[in-house]
Amino acid sequence: MPEKIMFKSICYIGILMLVYVMAIPVQFAHAEGGRDPVASPPSDPVTGEIKRQEPSKPQKKKKKKKIKSTTQNSVAATPKPVKKMRTTTPRIAESAPSGMPPVGETRFITNEVIVRFQLSSTARSRNRAVRGLGMSHLGAETFLLSGVTVHRYRLDAGIDVRDTITRLETSAAVVNAQPNYLYVLQQSENISKLPQFSNDKIDLSEAHTMNKGANTRIAVIDTAVDGTHAEFLNSSISSFDVTDGGSNVDPHGTSIAGILAADSKLTGVAPDAEIVSIAAFSKDASGKTVGNTWTILEAMNVALKQKADILNMSFADPADPLLERAMKGAKKRNILPVAAAGNEGPDAATLFPAGYEAVIAVTATDTENKIYSKANTGEHVDVAAPGVGLLVLGNSAGFRTSSGTSMATAYISGIAALALSANPGADYATLRAMLENSTTDLGEPGKDSIFGAGIPSAAAAISALNN
Active-site residue, selected from the candidate residues 255, 403, 406, 413: 406
Active-site residue, 252 included: yes
Identity of residue 299: A
Q: Count of CB atoms within 10 A of residue 430's CB?
A: 16
| Catalytic residue (one of 171, 188, 208, 222) | 222
Quote the crossing angle between the two packed helices 428-437 and 405-422, to the nearest 10°: 120
Q: Could you count the other beta carbons within 10 Å of the beta carbon of residue 214?
A: 16
Is residue 222 flagged as an active site residue? yes
Residues 6+ apart with CB under 8 A from 4: none
Asked if 142 contacts 149 with a C-beta cutoff of 8 angstroms, the reply is: yes
Helix axis angle for 405-422 and 252-261, nearest 10°, is 30
Count of helices and strands (H, E) across the chain = 11, 18
Separation between Cα atoms, residue 43 and residue 47, nearest integer Å: 8
Q: How far apart are CA 326 and CA 320, in angstroms?
A: 10
Measure the CA–CA gap between 132 and 184, rounded to whole angstroms. 33
* CA–CA gap between residue 378 and residue 448 (Å, rounded): 8
Of 208, 229, 252, 380, which residue is the catalytic one? Answer: 252
- 311: nearest Cα among 225, 223, 220: 220
By 3-state DSSP, what share of the chain in percent is helix, strand and coil, each rounded to 5? Answer: 25, 25, 50
Query: Are 94 and 118 contacting, i.e. CB atoms less than 8 angstroms apart?
Result: yes
Q: H-helix or E-strand containing 222? A: strand 217-222
360-365 sheet: strands from edge to edge: 236-241, 274-279, 217-222, 310-313, 336-340, 360-365, 383-386
DSSP state of 370: P
User: Looking at the annotation, which residues are catalytic?
Assistant: 222, 252, 406
